[in-house]
């Protein structure tokens, strides 16, 4: 028997065109089911057309008339605005990254569209019943003391340790190469594939066999195999909230070389074999070379399991629901 009936409104969810898209949102909602949450989904595919946001408003009304829900949980700011076209139900908004600080270009400058997102998030946060952000930095940007800081959890049953050679055999990858994992779309400017390319080119002077392994638009159950097959992951993004790929890499003890973005400094704290580096080719390449020559895995899984298992995060989200519903009943 469900304790909570939730309507999930999100523009991030796996679909046929990209089975990896928003997989972390789906994973979080599925983790709530054992705790008594039954949810329905309203997926707003803004990738296909921005008009889908407007088309979703009457669909939201139809959903609310046909089903009995206790609250709406919106993931991402634009989905939150779709959800705020109603005031019948309490609204929980999870801001996920580039909605709070806004979109940036390759140089880290906020675009005009990004400024609009930033302003829209600031206003929406004050119209929601509760706000969840992924890092303390996002909370500071929103200037909202009541915001809950709840990073996404890691599915430790999915992100398991594997033998590196076995993972490479399954993927058909060379046993002799050194692979730098880039778990993003290279065409996304803020992920800085160009910088990672420069880092690998520089590292190749000392480790000739090193190359980039781009991985994107794959079902989530394939990502752990690539992470186990790689030698190191490099994070060079200009903008992040709480990067899921870093947490997932740490869960399989894949060494991470990352710039200080989002909550990466907190994620790496207390781990071994991972490095927080300045955003320049020389420092990043030096650590890539060090990891490749050492050949060891990091020591990170225990730290992630202790702080960010799916079960721990799910319990925190349930506490937010309970708080919102108590206030709603008291009104």
Strand positions, DSSP E, the chain: 4-10, 37-43, 71-75, 91-94, 130-133, 148-149, 178-182, 210-214, 232-235, 256-259, 275-277
What percent of the chain is predicted at pLDDT more than 70? 98
Q: Which tens digits make up the pLDDT trace of 153-185?
A: 999 999 999 999 999 999 999 999 999 999 999
- Average pLDDT value over all residues in the chain: 93
The pLDDT value given to residue 78 = 94
Tell me if the domain spanning 4-153+309-330 has CATH number 3.40.50.2000: yes
State the helix-helix crossing angle for 281-294 and 193-203, rounded to 10 degrees.
60
Spatial separation of the C-alpha atoms in residues 12 and 307, rounded to whole Å: 24
| Residue 75, pLDDT score | 97
How does DSSP classify residue 109? Answer: P
164-307 folds as Rossmann fold (3.40.50)
Strands (E), 34-164: 37-43, 71-75, 91-94, 130-133, 148-149
Task: Specify the residue for token string 């490479």.
Answer: 168
State the Cα–Cα distance between residues 48 and 175, nearest whole angstrom.
Answer: 39
Note the pLDDT of residue 109.
Answer: 75
Extents of the domains making up the chain: 4-153+309-330, 164-307
Q: Is the confidence at residue 97, as pLDDT, over 80?
A: no
Euclidean distance between CA atoms 249 and 104, whole angstroms:
25
Fold agreement between 4-153+309-330 and 164-307:
yes
pLDDT of residue 69: 96
Name the pLDDT band for 65 (thresholds 50, 70, 90): very high
Q: Average pLDDT for residues 109-126, to the nearest whole number?
A: 86
List, for residues 279-295, the tens digit of each pLDDT value.
Answer: 999 999 999 999 999 99
Question: Over 90: is that where the pLDDT of 101 sits?
Answer: no
Whether the per-residue pLDDT at 1 is higher than 60: the answer is: no
């Amino acid at each position: 028997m469900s304790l909570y009936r939730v309507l999930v409104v999100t523009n991030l969810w796996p679909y046929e065109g990209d089975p990896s898209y928003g997989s972390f949102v789906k994973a979080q909602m599925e983790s709530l089911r054992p705790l008594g949450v039954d949810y329905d989904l309203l997926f707003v595919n803004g990738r296909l057309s921005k008009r889908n946001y407007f088309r979703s408003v009457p669909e939201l009304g139809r959903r609310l008339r046909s089903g009995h829900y206790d609250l709406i949980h919106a993931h991402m700011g634009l989905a939150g605005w779709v959800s705020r076209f109603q005031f019948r139900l309490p609204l929980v908004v999870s801001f996920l990254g580039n909605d709070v600080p806004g979109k940036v270009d390759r140089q880290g400058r906020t675009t005009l569209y990004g400024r609009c997102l930033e302003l829209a998030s600031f206003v929406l946060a004050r119209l929601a019943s509760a706000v969840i952000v992924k890092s303390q930095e996002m909370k500071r940007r929103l200037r909202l003391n009541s915001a809950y800081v709840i990073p996404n959890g890691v599915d430790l049953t999915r992100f398991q340790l594997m033998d590196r050679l076995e993972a490479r055999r399954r993927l058909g990858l060379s046993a002799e190469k050194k692979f730098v994992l880039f778990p993003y779309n290279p065409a996304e400017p803020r992920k800085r594939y160009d910088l990672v390319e420069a880092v690998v080119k520089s590292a190749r002077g000392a480790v000739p066999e090193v190359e980039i392994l781009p991985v994107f638009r794959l079902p989530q159950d394939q990502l752990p195999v690539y992470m186990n097959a790689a030698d190191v992951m490099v994070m060079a993004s200009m903008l992040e909230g709480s990067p899921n790929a870093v947490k997932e890499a740490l869960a399989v003890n894949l060494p991470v070389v990352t710039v200080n973005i989002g909550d990466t400094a907190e994620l790496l704290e207390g781990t071994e074999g991972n490095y927080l580096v300045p955003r320049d080719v020389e420092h990043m390449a030096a650590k890539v070379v060090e990891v490749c020559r050492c050949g060891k895995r990091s020591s990170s899984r225990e730290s992630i399991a202790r702080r960010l298992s799916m079960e721990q995060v799910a319990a925190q989200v349930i506490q937010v629901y309970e708080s919102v519903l108590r206030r709603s009943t008291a009104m």
